[in-house]
A and B are shown apart, each in its own frame.
Chain A
């Protein structure tokens, strides 16, 4: 770096207020040193806890553990390039876990965000009573630690303990909230319960930022509250909706807590229910390279989905 400086300085016209070149160089060096000092903590942490683990994970995923004979001694590690990725592609349990999470996301995210938007609009409406109470009440589930909420719901749906199923039973309806078909709706319900309030708050704060004159002008023009909501407020909180959707896509891809907690009362919830379950299962089987492979695939898919969504809405925004 320092050796280049004179050459650069020579290439440029001399500054108008000519200072002695040695002093200028010293100043520049000092500035550069200060900048480096300020950047170093970020750079060290960024490389150490962000870049390095990713590089390490990708590197791990390119190897395979290999035994021979009875295999009762430490395995050897061999380079297989994309062998693990090919295996993952043929791994029906892993594919099913990806599909399951995708399905939960496709149904649950729109329901949750629709509900969050509705609640936010209601809170924002002039005629709503007890605003502070409702805002607090809707937000409360998010303030609870996620596992506590999941644990609570586990007991509310557990066969033999659930008041919901026993009530349904009394009404002559045999309901099992942890049967194979009901697992995904039950988990979707837990997610919606826990996260609607959080998303509502983001949308609500975006609503608060809309200038009051807009609504007033619309009211003067004879616009109903519903039409104000639909034609003015919703388009104006679009960025907040995009943001919460992206967060929700990423969050659903990482689904773990709810099914892991629910597993205690639902034996049919398998050990590869979500992609993170599958990766964890591979670690339990001491197959770290394959766990790394599954993690990389999940990360890439979550990235593609969330950025794909962003690109999609951005393009549409421009077209409009």
Chain B
């Protein structure tokens, strides 16, 4: 607690001052010890499990460029704030794990380093649309690591217990199954709405209800679009009938309810599979992965929730080496195998798609080869999605409103107009041009 402890607070302030002084001097010495004597040293901030091991692989094979990985809180939990603050102070690390959704915000903060010249030759190694996610106004700021197709992660055993033998293929089926399960036992829900803004974005992504667009040097904000309203109305209907649990995304309560058989599925991205497997160990073997339910079975389209890059931050003294590492981490077969096995990524590099780790059976999901499901979805994922420059604000507002939806003091349809208004006013207050409003 910050209150009332004068002496500890003063001591902490002194310690912080000393630590800051220490940071400055160590940064200086690291900068000095470059090519002249010893290896180039690069710092890398990220949070995903498995990155550390890829860095260790690199360090073993590249004695001239040594990368030190520092684990920071995940982006939304303060990691991005830490990076932006460091960039502001001029002591940011060379490399950082930055989600596609946050890259435009970083660009708007002037926190990224243009590394186009070092990476233009590598573009062909990646799925074209992922390269677009790391390239803003013709400048490339990093290397794509993964994409995040969404699926229906469901408890097959318990679905069968409540009479659902085939997973829902469409959202209409999902609603019908939700009602069926609820009728069998009102304390059990097919799923939960959660309060993760980017998970919700994945639902709009699937429905081709884009949030941002650009036209003649101005932003178009369309969070509150007609298609977006259709998606919101569908989920609001499920919430209103109490067919969904009100648990928070990634909360202890959520996993407790899943383990207790009260929540039977999760509409989530590929990288959620290992998280679920480690949070609900008691139900290992009971779960399975099905394609994300679609709106129209005859022309299916799927959503994407996440995907991130290894970005080069402003002030990096060795941008070329940093870019070289970033490219290696996303393309080297050993590194990609590690990232698939430990991090649970779906690789953005085209060479990664033939990686044998993708065809390994997953014990938690009843020895299913879960990547086959996501691989089949890939061609049907909208690749024109564009993120705005105020996503931190937009995602916070949306997350707050989702929290209010769970307590009944907001509706999903109301949420969209609220977020639309707030996003437009935030863009305008920063002086950016917004068209059509």
Contacts and interface: CB of A to CB of B under 8 A. Distances in A.
Given A48-B17, A49-B17, A195 B4 contact: yes
A66 B430 contact: yes
B109 interface: yes
A200 to B, nearest CB: 13
A70 B432 contact: yes
B247 interface: yes
Nearest to B110: A74
Contacts of B218: 69-70
B1 A194 contact: yes
A160 B110 CA distance: 43
A118 to B, nearest CB: 20
Interface stretch (B266-274, B329-337, B397-405): B397-405
Given A45-B14, A160-B257, A161-B256, A257 B407 contact: no
Contact of B409 (A161, A180, A247, A250): A180
A195 B137 CA distance: 54
B393 A270 contact: no
Nearest to B391: A285
A73 B14 CA distance: 35
Interface stretch (B100-108, B175-183, B316-324, B371-379): B100-108
| Most B CB within 10 A of own CB, among A160, A265, A281 | A160
B2 A161 contact: no
B252 A161 contact: yes
Contact of B432 (A67, A194, A255): A67
B217 A69 contact: yes
B404 A268 contact: yes
Interface string A130-157: 0000000000000000110000000100
B6 to A, nearest CB: 9
A71 B432 contact: yes
A161 B136 contact: no
A193 B2 CA distance: 16
A248 to B, nearest CB: 8
Interface string B1-25: 1111000000001100100000000
A267 interface: yes
B81 A247 contact: no
A65 interface: yes
Nearest to B21: A48
| Most A CB within 10 A of own CB, among B3, B13, B105, B214 | B3
B396 A284 contact: yes
Contacts of B396: 271, 281, 284
Nearest to B403: A267
Interface in B113-146: 136-137
Interface in A210-255: 247-248, 250-252, 254-255
B2 A71 contact: no
Interface string A266-309: 11111100000000110111101000000000000000000000
Contacts of A286: 84, 88, 105, 108-109, 111, 392
B350 interface: no
A114 interface: no
Interface string A64-108: 011111111111000000000001000000000000000000000
A310 interface: no
Contacts of B406: 267-268
A142 to B, nearest CB: 9
Contacts of A269: 403
Contacts of A254: 2-3
Given A70-B219, A256-B2, A267-B406, A285 B253 contact: no
Contacts of B432: 67-71
Interface of A: 45, 48-49, 65-75, 87, 146-147, 155, 158-161, 179-180, 194-195, 198, 247-248, 250-252, 254-258, 264-271, 280-281, 283-286, 288
8 contacts: A65-B430, A70-B219, A75-B430, A180-B409, A268-B403, A268-B406, A284-B396, A286-B111
The 5 A-B residue pairs with the shortest CB-CB distance, nearest first, are: A74-B110, A251-B3, A146-B1, A267-B403, A71-B432
